[in-house]
Amino acid sequence: MSDLTLIRDAAQAVEATTGLPIHILPAPDGSGGYRPDGIVTVGFPDGILSFVAECKARIIGNAQLVLIKQHLATYDDRSRPLLVTHHLTSGQIDHCREIDLDFMDTAGNCLLREGPRWVLVRGNRPTRTNAPSPYRGGTSYASLRVVYALLCHRPLLSAPYRELAMAAGVSLGAIPPIFADLEQRGLVSARDGDKRRHFLALDRLQSEWVTNFPHKLRPRLGQRRFSALAPDWWKDADLGSGALWGGEVAAHRLNGFLRPITQTIYLSEGVAGDAINPLLRKYRLRADPTGAIEFVERFWHFDDTYAHTQGIVNPLLIYADLLTMKDSRAAEAASLIWKDYVGA
């Protein structure tokens, strides 16, 4: 289904549930080259509201909603951001209200507001005809590891399969079908005459990875939580080789905007006792299932410039870590990191 068809289907459904006339216009390019999927106007009794729309066939988690709003905010227009999708769950609708993101779906649910004007429809279920089929490609555990390696260490895009498999920590046989999927979906090119590949839709691939990371990859990584006697223990901490800061501390080191409350550390040797015991003793950390310190198993086997110079993970992972926190401070810091480092 094309983006225009999705907008039309959602507009017709919302017209039926609200009685409001809805019109669709093409969207011109905005500043920075970003182009939304359309302009949607909604006729209210006291005036017309204009929305700049982005289409997503399916929404996987709340982090994707934040990402969509940030993308639309880069469009140089006075229209409000509008998500158009097949269906939002009740929890996703609540999150749209929290982050001030208007939406409409093909089941006739919607949130349309500006100032005192407010329309909210929820509870409509999608029919079998408008529900998208389940999507598997690009969201597997191995695929997410490989895509992360490609995004964070660009030479791997044209490297031999064996080198890429070692960097991503996956089997050699997993690489060909992953590239076949990326090529089929127009995200990565086939090899050219110089045996090189190229990203065809980098922003889309980054967004897809960030959306799937908290649901498909992070839960399968080894994780342990601790707490410290001194809340600011992290300021002068030396993690040693094989350990990198992620999350809030990494964001703080990157641009100084966020004062860390939690500390995330990625360990190349996993989170077993032998790997973390030296750090536990050195900084007097104690096991605590609700603690602010989280050790996470590292899922890549290469270092980039950020690891060498600042002792932090790649900004793409920092951004994903911050979005999983469901915290307004972290979301604001994530937005700056996307603008200055990831999407730059």
Min mean pLDDT across 76-85, 177-186, 236-245, 290-299 is at 76-85
pLDDT at 344 (0 to 100): 61
pLDDT at 132 over 60: no
Predicted pLDDT of residue 115: 74
**Residue range 3-121, CATH number:** 3.40.1350
Sign of CA dihedral 265, 256, 152, 36: positive
Whether pLDDT at 312 is above 60: yes
Query: What is the predicted pLDDT for the residue at 254?
Result: 92
pLDDT, residue 156, reads 95
Closest CA to 263 of 241, 279, 277: 279
Query: Which of 3, 159, 193 has its CA nearest to residue 82?
Result: 3
Cα–Cα dist 183/259, whole Å? 41
Q: What is the pLDDT of residue 67?
A: 82
pLDDT at 228 over 60: yes
Give the CA angle between residues 181, 183, 187 to the nearest 5°.
100
When pLDDT is averaged across residues 107-132 and rounded to a whole number, the result is 80
Contacts (Cβ under 8 Å, ≥6 apart) of 15: 21, 22
Q: What is the DSSP letter of 215?
A: I
> 141 with 216: CB under 8 angstroms?
yes
Where do the CATH 3.40.1350 domains begin and end in the chain? 3-121
Poorest-confidence range of 112-116, 282-286, 334-338? 112-116
Amino acid symbol at 145: R
What does the pLDDT read at residue 116?
75
pLDDT for 29 equals: 58
Decide which of 77 and 61 is more confident: 61
The CATH code belonging to domain 141-218 is 1.10.10.10
Verdict on whether the full-model pTM lies above 0.85: no
> Is residue 14's pLDDT more than 60?
yes
- pLDDT at res. 135: 43
Tell me what pLDDT residue 297 has: 92
The segment(s) of the chain belonging to CATH 1.10.10.10 are 141-218
Separation of alpha carbons 149 and 169, rounded Å:
10
